[in-house]
Amino acid sequence: MEELGRGAGGQVYKAIFVPTMTLVAVKEVYVDDAQKRQAMLGELGALHNMSKADFQFTDTLGGAGGAGGGAGGLLGGSGSGSTDLEGSTLSASVHPPGPGGGGALSAEDRLAQTVAAIQDRKGSPHIVAFYDAYTEPARGSVMLVLEYMNAGTLEDLVKAKVPVDEHMLATVAESVLRGLRELHAKHQIHRDIKPSNILLDRDGNVKISDFGIAREVASDLASTQVGTFQYMSPERIQAQPYSFNSDIWSLGLVVATLALGKMPLPAKYWELVTAVTERAPPELPRGLFSEELRAFVAACLSKDADRRPGAARLLDHPFLLSNRDRVKPKITLPLTEGQIKRLKTLLRKVLEFQMKQILGKDWETILCNSNGLDSSFKFPRIKKRYFRRLAHDYGVEFEVLKTAYQKETIRFYRDIQQMSGAHKDANRKKGKP
C-alpha cells in the first residue's frame, strides 16, 4: 500500500491481509550479505522467542537448506522458506509442521494458521506481534509480517513537536519496561531502544519494535557494539562489557527526549562521546517537571551500570505508581485528504485481489475477452467484524468505511464494464470478432 519507513536494512510497508481485512506492517529485509542475513535471523529468532503462538522456528546458514514454509507467503510472496542468496542457503521456517509431524503446511492450513494468529493477536502486549514471514528470492529479501500500529512512532511525536504530558510519559515508560522485562527474562538485550523503535496506536498502547540487532546472551555480559550511537549507554560507548541495564539507559534518554521535545545530548560524534563519558548525565529542569519524573529519569541515566535499576525494579518506581491507575491516554489523529484518497486506493486493491482470487492473475484479460461482469455478479461478502477492525485500525467510523467500500465497488464494476467495452470497440475496428 504505502511505505512507512526505511533504514539501512530495508523498508517497512503498510499492507492489508484481505481474508481478515487487517492492516499489517511488512518489513522487507535485504539479505544479500552474511551480516544482513544474520541480523534478519536474529530478528526472526527474537520475535519468535517473544511470541506465544505455536511456531516452529529453524534457522540455517550454509549447507543444503532446511524445513521451509513451502505454502506461499502471507501476502503473495514465494514462501519457499529456502532460497539461495549469494551462494548461502537461508532457511527460516516459522510454521508448525504439517500433519504427521513433518513436512510443510498445506496452503489452506497455513492460511488458517495465519488468520488465527492475526485474529488472536498472539504475543506480548508490549512487543509488536509477529504474524508470518516469506521470501522474495528475486529481490534478495525476506519479508516479515508484523502488527501494524496506527499512530506511528515516538519519533513522529518529537518531530511534530507534540507536547507529551507526564501521564503519557509514564504510559510509555511502563509499557517499554514491561516489554524489556519480558525480553530480559529470556536473556535478550534489545540494544536499539530509541523513539523510532517504539510504536503507538490510537488506543494508547505502546510497543517495542525492531529486533534486528537484539541479542541473546548466555552470560550476564555482552560486548558487541551495534545500535544507534546517540542512545548507547556509557559502557557501550566506551566498548566495555554491558548487560540488560544498557537498555535502561536508552529508555531514560527516550523519556527525557519526549519530555524536553529534543534529544538532551549533542548530535555530533565526539561531542556526544565527551558528554556521555566525561560529564554528568542529563537532568530534567527543576520546576518544569515533577520530582518523581526527575528521579525516574535520573535512575535510568545512572552512569554506573551496576547502580542502574533493572526493568522489574523500575516498574515499582513512585513515578509509575502515581500514574498507574489513570485511564490510558488516547491518541487522536485527524483524517486528512491524503488518508481518504489512500483509503479509496486500499479498497480498490481489495477488490482487485478478490477478482484475482476468483478468475486468476489474468483476470483483466479474461474480462476484456468476455462481456465483462454479469449483472448478477457479486463480490465475496466480507464479515462485518472485519470491516469494524479495518475501520478501527484506519481511524475512520464504521459507516464511513462501509459507504466508501460500497461506492468503490460500484466504481470498480463500472470501470470493468468500460474496459471490456473499449476492448470490444478496438477489436471491431480491427475487424476482429
Axis crossing angle, helix 398-429 with helix 384-394, rounded to the nearest 10: 100
Residue with cell 537448506: 65
Q: Is residue 68 part of a domain?
A: no
Asked whether residue 298 falls in the same domain as residue 349, the answer is: no
DSSP helix/strand/coil, 205: coil
Asked whether residue 162 falls in the same domain as residue 137, the answer is: no
Q: Is residue 140 part of a domain?
A: yes
Q: Is residue 191 part of a domain?
A: yes
Q: By residue range, what is the domain housing residue 132?
A: 1-57+107-148
Which one from 32, 84, 120, 192 is the annotated catalytic residue? 192
Residue 285 DSSP code: P
Which grid coordinates are listed for 169? Answer: 510519559
CA distance 308 to 322: 21
Asked whether residue 249 falls in the same domain as residue 203, the answer is: yes
- For residue 282, give every residue at least 6 positions away whose Cβ sits within 8 Å of its Cβ, in sequence order, or none: 253, 256, 264, 265, 297, 301
- Report whether pLDDT(277) > 80: yes
Name the phi and psi angles at 86, rounded to 5: 55, 35
Q: Is residue 90 part of a domain?
A: no
Q: Is residue 97 part of a domain?
A: no
Phi-psi region of 227 (alpha: psi -120 to 50; beta: other; left: phi over 0): left
Asked whether residue 6 falls in the same domain as residue 121, the answer is: yes
Task: Please provide the DSSP assignment of 237-284 as one string.
Answer: HTT--B-THHHHHHHHHHHHHHHHTS-SS-SSHHHHHHHHHHSPPP-P
Q: Is 201 a catalytic residue?
A: no
Asked whether residue 13 falls in the same domain as residue 29, the answer is: yes
Predicted pLDDT at 148: 92
* Mean pLDDT for the stretch of residues 251-274: 94
Name the phi and psi angles at 341, rounded to 5: -65, -45
Percentage, residues of the chain above pLDDT 70: 72
Task: Please provide the DSSP assignment of 129-180 as one string.
Answer: -EEEEEEEGGGTEEEEEEE--TT-BHHHHHHTT----HHHHHHHHHHHHHHH
How many domains, in total, are found in the chain? 3
Q: Is residue 211 part of a domain?
A: yes
CA distance 159 to 161: 5
Name the phi and psi angles at 328, rounded to 5: -60, 130
Asked whether residue 414 falls in the same domain as residue 265, the answer is: no
- Judge whether 27 is annotated as a binding position: yes
CA distance 192 to 180: 12
DSSP helix/strand/coil, 94: coil
Asked whether residue 405 falls in the same domain as residue 273, the answer is: no
Asked whether residue 264 falls in the same domain as residue 352, the answer is: no
Predicted pLDDT at 311: 97
CATH of the domain at 26: 3.30.200.20
Residue with cell 514462501: 79
Q: Is residue 80 part of a domain?
A: no
Q: Can you give the length of the chain in residues?
A: 433
Name the phi and psi angles at 228, rounded to 5: -85, 120
CA distance 317 to 235: 24
Asked whether residue 194 falls in the same domain as residue 291, the answer is: yes
Predicted pLDDT at 104: 52
Q: Is residue 165 part of a domain?
A: yes
What are 81-136's pLDDT values in tens digits?
332 223 233 333 344 444 444 455 565 665 566 666 555 555 678 999 888 888 88
Asked whether residue 121 falls in the same domain as residue 9, the answer is: yes
- State which of 279, 294, 322 marks the end of a domain: 322
What are 358-413's pLDDT values in tens digits?
888 888 888 877 777 777 788 888 889 999 989 988 888 889 899 999 999 999 98
- State which of 98, 127, 148 marks the end of a domain: 148
Asked whether residue 23 falls in the same domain as residue 118, the answer is: yes
CATH of the domain at 160: 1.10.510.10
CA gyration radius for the chain?
25
Asked whether residue 131 falls in the same domain as residue 201, the answer is: no
